[in-house]
Amino acid sequence: MGNEPLIDRRSRLLGKGAPLFYREPVHIVRGDGVWLYDADGKRYVDMYNNVPCVGHANPRVVEAIAQQTATLNVHSRYLHEGILDYAERLTGHHDPALTSVVFTCSGTEASEVALLMARAATEGRGIICSDGGYHGNSTEVRKLSRFRAGDNANPEFRAIPYPQTYRPLKNDADASELTNLYLAEVQKAIDDFSANDIPLAGMFVCSIFANEGLPNIPERFMKDAATLVRNAGGLFIADEVQAGFCRTGRWWGYETSDFVPDIVTMGKPMGNGLPLAGVAAPTELVDVFREHTGYFNTFASSPLQAAVGSAVLDIIEEDDLPKSVTEVGAYLRTALRELQETHERMGDIRGHGLAIGIDWVLERESKTPDREGAADIANRIKDKGFLLSNMGSFGNMLKIRPPLVFGREHADLFLTAFEETLREL
């Protein structure tokens, strides 16, 4: 209740409805590694924030940001080697087909660039998306975000049911049949555009369907969907804003499905909190994009973005975070699956690396999503000093997505508190 005047002030200055987490919002004043501290000195293990991927207040990031700000930070219409060195390193971590980068300030701007690029390169307009994704907050990108099935307000966008095995399109389908059912939805969207004389531009989905709920993606779906899209003249755009930068234990989410997208968007963890995002694609596609748009972004491709982005790469590489993420993620999922054996409400444990979801259900058999139950857990565990959230297309997924420097010791602390929370239900 002590925060009420602060909340009132916030509503006045930022408007009512500026989103806040938790029944009683947390007033955070300091961060350090995986730890966040509130105004009363209470500390929390941050199990939600993927942006500060190398840890809150990472001293090497602080040093990079301070040093570059003290040296030079200017727009990109002068030559600067820093951004080229960074682009070279970044594309070096991607599939060899993705050779050039357009830098932006936010994931939304990256989505905008990807849409403009796909449409310029294909001369098409139609975009296939999923029915539970989120790709940003601009007028155009909102059209492929939080798409509701059957929403025909925007003729240039069609949503498919996102691929999954937990609540599949058909319950008794075997693996191969299920994949084909989801692929048929992609083909249906392609045919529907064609029937309406809307040339296809592409398909735009998160590589791991993070907002949809981190589903197990039916085998070969991504690869074969990309083929269907390409055969129809479109490009496959993978949103790696959440999946990228080793979140899954692999550098990119698309590696977990063993396919290569034509265009990749990147964001959140890229600058550890400095606004930094971008799009990687073959140089030919970037050339076409630039020719069509004359794109310029005042704050992007800057020496500051380059320095901070490079520092993040340094830390990920030198500390071998992919290895640690893989190990700690597997450890945590295994422990959660053990808990699941005796806890009916934990319907499913999914994810890769340190992107983990617990599908919270009313009971195991029906798999009925329990949004309120998941939100209740998030609030209870927050009081015990662990920050997570609930998400997914039903809002019933407990979302575990800590900084990549989250270790086994933090997992143990969480597991103890989580088990205690389960006992108290």
Nearest distance, CB of residue 106 and a copy of itself, angstroms: 5
Instruction: Please tell me the distance from the alpha carbon of residue 222 to that of residue 237, in angstroms, as a whole number.
Output: 11
Instruction: Please tell me the distance from the alpha carbon of residue 369 to that of residue 362, in angstroms, as a whole number.
Output: 6
Q: What are phi and psi of 143, to 5 degrees?
A: -65, -25
Site size toward a copy of itself (CB under 8 A) is: 91
Check binding of 123 to a copy of itself (CB under 8 A): no
Check binding of 274 to a copy of itself (CB under 8 A): yes
Closer to a copy of itself by Cβ: residue 91 or 257: 91
Kindly write out the interface string for residues 280-299 of this chain, putting x where it contacts a copy of itself by CB under 8 A and - elsewhere. Answer: ---x--xx-xxx-xxxxxxx
Whether residue 244 contacts residue 280, with contact meaning beta carbons closer than 8 Å, is answered with no
Instruction: Please tell me the distance from the alpha carbon of residue 211 to that of residue 339, in angstroms, as a whole number.
Output: 24
Hey, what are 182's tokens?
């989801």
Closer to a copy of itself by Cβ: residue 25 or 385: 25
Considering only residues 171-230, where is the footprint of a copy of itself by CB under 8 A?
none
Rg (CA), the chain: 21
Closer to a copy of itself by Cβ: residue 84 or 175: 84
- Could you tell me how far CA 336 lies from the centroid of its own chain? 22
Hey, what are 382's tokens?
């927050």
Check binding of 137 to a copy of itself (CB under 8 A): yes
Nearest distance, CB of residue 74 and a copy of itself, angstroms: 6
Check binding of 80 to a copy of itself (CB under 8 A): yes
Nearest distance, CB of residue 289 and a copy of itself, angstroms: 7
Considering only residues 8-67, where is the footprint of a copy of itself by CB under 8 A?
9-10, 12-21, 25-31, 36, 49, 51-52, 56-57, 59, 61-62, 65-66
DSSP 8-state class, residue 93: H
C-alpha closest to that of 118 among 140, 94, 88, 151: 140
Q: Where are the alpha helices (DSSP H) in 150-219?
A: 175-195
- ∠ CA 64-137-188, nearest 5°, is 120
Nearest distance, CB of residue 291 and a copy of itself, angstroms: 6
Closer to a copy of itself by Cβ: residue 11 or 176: 11
Closer to a copy of itself by Cβ: residue 17 or 150: 17
* DSSP bridge pairs for 37: 30, 43
Closer to a copy of itself by Cβ: residue 270 or 411: 270
Closer to a copy of itself by Cβ: residue 57 or 422: 57
